[in-house]
Amino acid sequence: MFGKRLFPGGVHPHEGKGGKSVNQSNPIVPLPAPQRLTIPLSQHTGAPARPLVQKGDHVLMGQKIGEPASFVSAAVHASVSGTVTEIGTCYNFGGYEVPCVVIENDYKDEWVPLHPAEHPETLTAAEMVQIVREAGIVGMGGATFPTPVKLTIAPDKHLEFFVVNGAECEPYLTADHRLMLEKPTQIIDGIRLLMNAFGVHETLIGVENNKADAIEALRAAAANVEGIKVVSLPVRYPQGGEKQLVYALTKRVIPGGGLPIDAGCVVLNVGTVFAIDEAVRKGIPLIQRVTTAGGLMNNPGNYLVRIGTPVRSLINACGGTQPHVRTLISGGPMMGTAFVNIDIPITKGCSGILALDKSAIDVDESACIRCGRCMRACPMHLQPAQMDRLIRVENFDELDRIGVLSCIECGACTYVCPAKRLLTQSFRSGKRIVNIRRKKVKEREAAEKAAAEAKAQQGGQAGKEA
Amino acid sequence: MADQKKSSFISVFLNGLITENPTFTLMLGMCPTLGVTTAAMNGVSMGLATTFVLVCSNLFISLLRNIIPDKVRIPAYIVVIASFVTMIDLFMQAFLPELRAVLGTYIQLIVVNCIIFARAESFAAKNPPLLSIADGLGMGLGFTCSITLLSMVRELFGSGSIFGLRIMPEGYLPMAIMNQVPGGFITLGLMMILVNVIKKYASARKEEKLA
Amino acid sequence: MQKNLAITSCPHIRSRKTTQKIMQDVCIALAPAGIAGIVYFGARAAAIIAISVVTCVLAELVYEKMMNQRVTIGDWSAVVTGLLLAYNLPSTVPLWIPIIGGIIAIVLVKMLFGGIGSNFMNPALTARAVLFVSWGGLMGTYPITRYMADTVSAATPLAVLATDSASVSLVDLMIGNCPGVLGETCKLAILAGGIFLIARDVLDWKIPACFIGSAFLLFLLTSGFNFDYAVKEIFAGSLMLGAIFMATDYATSPQSNLGRVIFGVGCGLILFIIRAYANYPEGCSFSILFMNILTPLIDRYTAPKYFGEVKQHG
């Protein structure tokens, strides 16, 4: 029913050692919580959460320790029981200092009283959003956009169906794969609850066809549920990009600068759906997630990690990294963030910790040979080589015109470039400059308008006076 | 006073000859530059003919600059320029018929040569006659020098000789493209690179001296 | 804490394809045609190939040293230019011809415009055109191969085809036993190279397919559906070499898919016009050079609409 070519562009990134082929058969293992957990209050897009505890407080597992500070923000919960030893700051993977709560583990894992939804099957949309907000759920694919914000549908928009992202198109990562394989019934149940709450009758789950067993498992679980369809997608990065996934599944195009809701849907990651199910059925907030430890780990695996566990514990659990590791990455190799400090805590959006032997600084940039590979790889149909050239000659008006703001920074162009040019990196700065310029133009126009109005008013007054 | 005038006469002359060389800096008069520069002799005669017209027209336009109404200045310039072009054309037909046959219509086309127009418009119409003559001489000789240089290179590779004197060894097979317009473009481009390099070097030296 | 860790911006993995590997692939693909040339035209063909390649590489090296630029001869692109230039010369030319040609190709056409990727015309073809216009006598006489009987006239297949297509043997055209420049004669070797490059994802099939296809159709239509004649036309001359190795030069051909189709069809059309109506017997180089100049224009008008730019969901 769907064509083979499911979205324009895309690449097939290769994997080194410790990739999907190894890790997809490693079951999810709970990682023992460490002695001390550092839970950042900013693990999501938007404002950091406001701390609810003080130094010396005793907290229980699942207790809310941070409250959303604004609409676009998310709650944060204690992932172990123990004592708050510090409210301070820590570094995140991006290298920024963020506020955090440090908890000394008492190893009792005492739960806070949990409140599962009383009538989960008949929740209203507002109740569902409230539960999701209380549970501190954010997009688990890596973007960490607060899910309740996504689920708050603007009155002029119409939600027709859900799209569930099980593509996991990043190389090396197997966290979603294992989750779909091990918890298919809960994922399907979560989808069903969402569909009930929002009065939606259709959901499409997109899974890349290199995860045939996961597709089987989900199909079996969804056999008796009406309206849920599991679609097998060809393997091509970035299949899991929102716009690409929606297009592949429905042939609907999300307009430039728009959101999936403009195409009538909301896109959720399988991990997010699983977390929603846990929150509704058991009342458990988001305090742990599945994280892949892959690449050059001595024993790669998939771990259920408490939020706030330092990377060091995960690496130790894998038996350490091999000696010739050059980069550590949080997330996938295409869009993840490199870091050096292994005391950084694992957060809600961390789908994987990878150790790789080559780094981008090991290759030299050379002149563009105009081969056009970047153009064919671009899932957004942009002209990467041309955009790079415009950024280098600082022609930002033309850059804006050819659509640089549509770049999703997936890295496909940089991956294929035979001249090894740092295209994505260049676009990131280009986008920032274009945004600033747009803002300036807007401000200037507003100022001019205000000035003109003031003048008109003055003229009117002068006329009156005369 | 006289001293000042003299120095400005020379500076205007040098400006045309070197600083604002019509071929390599202003890029004016490209049509004859590419068209007739296949032999050094053609270059020299074309250049001198242009210089003659340029000096005379500059002088007369400068003399008439306060009489010519602004609105009809272009037709007026054309009348002045065309008179001198006709003079030189008839002169060449009478005394240098062979050269005239080679240069052909390019002589008549001096009427619309942009060097002459540009100087009339931007210099002669605003300056006194003496300075205008200096400008005409400078620009004219600058043009003559550069197209002679160009045609020497083209003649050397295209025919193996300079001013008709054989330079290349006996077995040299002439590079025919040099006698065609593409060869003119290539030579002009390469010479402009050379001129720019020399200019850059010279200005760097000057700055060094000042510092 | 671990040592020697690097912080870089994503993506953290890069494809294994490099400019150097692409150019090496092209060299490998060009090898069969060169070997065929040496077989048919003898040691002199080998000498011309060697001189041409060495000149091109040296020219690039010397230029970059003189200009204090990074030396880029390691990317093998000068070798490709040298090979292509040599393949476009008859084996009888004096040995100084490839030297002048190599210098023109590398210095004049490639380096002065900014080096690899910045030249707006194909270096080897431009050099060939300059040589052809300058020394038409040397460049325009094609020797017969070593395996042809002396009695056979040395007219090129193209010249014969126009009047008497039946007398040209298709098999000879395919294996290359016919007069021509040293790299163009053996069409099978060229095709094999082309298939290798397509398999290695170096070459986009669209330009050669549209080039050859449109030329074939035009010859077929104008000859009153003389199939034999049209087939021989596309196997004669340097059409194959040009379509597969020179029209597809990255720097001088469009990047978008539609642009490549337009480019290929345009080449085919101009080739047909030159062969059928113009004075030159062969129009391959000039058709490609002409389309090279149109490439920026084609690129501009065939730029893709970005995903979600216009179309709204229905």
Rg over alpha carbons for chain B, rounded to the nearest Å, is: 19
- Domain assignment present for B125: yes
Which chain C residue lies closest to B190 (C-alpha atoms)? C108
Q: Which domain holds residue B75?
A: 2-152
**Residue B171 burial by Cβ neighbours in a 10 Å radius (0-12, 13-18, 19+):** exposed
B16-25, B87-96, C52-61, C303-312: range with highest mean pLDDT:
C52-61
Q: Could you tell me the pLDDT band of residue A357, with boundaries at 50, 70 and 90?
A: confident
Which chain C residue lies closest to B175 (C-alpha atoms)? C134
How far apart are the CA of B17 and the nearest CA of chain C, in angstroms?
A: 28
Written as six digits, the tokens of A298 are 């001595």
Which chain A residue lies closest to C309 (C-alpha atoms)? A256
pLDDT digits (tens, 9 = 90+) for A137-165: 999 987 889 999 999 998 899 999 999 99
Which chain C residue lies closest to A334 (C-alpha atoms)? C11
- The C-alpha atoms of residue A250 and residue B171 are separated, in whole angstroms, by 74
In C141-256, alpha helices (H): 157-163, 170-175, 187-199, 206-222, 227-235, 239-241
Average pLDDT over residues A83-90: 93
- The C-alpha atoms of residue A223 and residue A229 are separated, in whole angstroms, by 9
Residue C311 has pLDDT above 50, yes or no: no
Position C161 scores a pLDDT of 79
Average pLDDT over residues C233-238: 89
- Reference B31, options B90, B106, B86; nearest CA is B106
Residues in chain C closer than 8 A to B192 (CB atoms): none
Written as six digits, the tokens of A445 are 């126009």
Which chain C residue lies closest to B176 (C-alpha atoms)? C134
Average the pLDDT over each of B68-72, B161-165, C134-138, C276-280 and give the range with the smallest value. Answer: C276-280
Interface touch B173/C135, C-beta < 8 Å: yes
Chains in touch with A (≥3 Cβ pairs < 8 A):
C
Position C177 scores a pLDDT of 86
Q: Could you tell me the pLDDT band of residue A211, with boundaries at 50, 70 and 90?
A: very high
- The C-alpha atoms of residue C114 and residue C106 are separated, in whole angstroms, by 11
* Cα torsion angle, A407, A413, A419, A421, sign: positive
In angstroms, what CA-CA distances link B183 with A241, A325, B35, B113, B162? 54, 58, 10, 21, 16
* Percent of chain C whose pLDDT exceeds 90: 65
Give domain A366-466's CATH number out of 1.10.3470, 1.10.101, 1.10.1060, 1.10.3210.
1.10.1060
- The C-alpha atoms of residue A162 and residue A268 are separated, in whole angstroms, by 8
- Domain assignment present for B108: yes
- The C-alpha atoms of residue C239 and residue C247 are separated, in whole angstroms, by 10
CB A344 within 8 A of CB A39: no
* Percent of chain B whose pLDDT exceeds 70: 97
pLDDT digits (tens, 9 = 90+) for A367-395: 999 999 999 999 998 999 999 999 999 99
Query: What DSSP line would sit under A168-181, residue for residue?
Result: --STT--HHHHHHH
Average pLDDT over residues C127-151: 84
Position B102 scores a pLDDT of 84
| Cα within 13 Å of Cα(B45), Cβ side | 23
Total count of residues recorded for chain B: 211
Give Cα A336 distance to the centre of its chain: 10
Q: Which amino acid is at B164?
A: G
* Percent of chain A whose pLDDT exceeds 90: 73
In angstroms, what CA-CA distances link B60 with B55, B113, B120, B136? 9, 17, 10, 11
Residue of higher predicted confidence among A345 and C308: A345
- Domain assignment present for B143: yes
Position C314 scores a pLDDT of 33
Interface touch C14/A341, C-beta < 8 Å: no
Residue A466 has pLDDT above 50, yes or no: no
**Residue A315 burial by Cβ neighbours in a 10 Å radius (0-12, 13-18, 19+):** buried
CB-closest option in C8, C21, C257 to A338 = C8
- The C-alpha atoms of residue B179 and residue B157 are separated, in whole angstroms, by 9
Residue C86 has pLDDT above 70, yes or no: yes
- Domain assignment present for B91: yes
- The per-residue b/e assignment along A333-362, b for 16 or more CB within 10 angstroms, e otherwise, is bbbbbbbebbebbbbbbbbbbbbbbbbbee
The pTM of the full predicted model, rounded to 2 decimals, is: 0.88
- The C-alpha atoms of residue A181 and residue A235 are separated, in whole angstroms, by 18
Residues in chain C closer than 8 A to A249 (CB atoms): none
CB A133 within 8 A of CB A276: no
Residue A463 has pLDDT above 70, yes or no: no
Instruction: Please tell me whether residue A435 adopts helix, strand or coil conformation.
Output: helix
- Reference B62, options B138, B133, B140; nearest CA is B133
Position B171 scores a pLDDT of 82
Q: Is C135 on the interface with B (CB under 8 A)?
A: yes
Interface touch C135/B182, C-beta < 8 Å: no
- Reference A140, options A305, A377, A298, A339; nearest CA is A305
Angle at A314 between CA A311 and CA A317, to 5 degrees: 150
CB-closest option in A13, A247, A369 to C117 = A369
Chains B+A touching (3+ CB pairs under 8 Å): no
Position C310 scores a pLDDT of 52
Position A19 scores a pLDDT of 87
Residue A464 has pLDDT above 60, yes or no: no
Interface touch B177/C138, C-beta < 8 Å: no
CB-closest option in B173, B177, B193 to C133 = B177
Average pLDDT over residues B41-56: 92
Residues in chain C closer than 8 A to B196 (CB atoms): none
Phi and psi at residue C282, to the nearest 5°? -125, 135
Phi and psi at residue C183, to the nearest 5°? -100, -5
Q: Map tokens 């002679």 to a residue.
A: B148
Average pLDDT over residues A404-419: 92
Angle at B41 between CA B36 and CA B47, to 5 degrees: 65
Position A461 scores a pLDDT of 61
Give domain A20-281's CATH number out of 1.10.10.10, 1.10.287.70, 3.40.50.11540, 1.10.287.3240.
3.40.50.11540
Average pLDDT across chain A, whole number: 90
A-proximal residues of C, 70-99, CB under 8 Å: 72, 75, 77
How far apart are the CA of B176 and the nearest CA of chain C, in angstroms?
A: 4
Domains of chain C: 19-299 (1.10.3430)
- The C-alpha atoms of residue A411 and residue A10 are separated, in whole angstroms, by 10
Residue C3 has pLDDT above 80, yes or no: no
Average pLDDT across chain B, whole number: 87
CB-closest option in C8, C16, C306 to A382 = C306
Position B3 scores a pLDDT of 46
Q: Could you tell me the pLDDT band of residue B1, with boundaries at 50, 70 and 90?
A: very low
Q: Could you tell me the pLDDT band of residue A8, with boundaries at 50, 70 and 90?
A: confident
Q: Is B191 on the interface with C (CB under 8 A)?
A: no
Residue C281 has pLDDT above 90, yes or no: no
Give Cα A88 distance to the centre of its chain: 25
Residue of higher predicted confidence among A184 and C152: A184
- The C-alpha atoms of residue A104 and residue A63 are separated, in whole angstroms, by 14
Q: Which amino acid is at B10?
A: I
How far apart are the CA of C270 and the nearest CA of chain B, in angstroms?
A: 21
Q: Could you tell me the pLDDT band of residue C247, with boundaries at 50, 70 and 90?
A: very high
CB A307 within 8 A of CB A348: yes
Q: Considering its fold, how many domains does chain B have in total?
A: 1
Average the pLDDT over each of B48-57, C156-165, C201-210 and give the range with the smallest value. Answer: C156-165
Chains A+C touching (3+ CB pairs under 8 Å): yes
CB A10 within 8 A of CB A244: yes
Average pLDDT over residues A12-31: 89
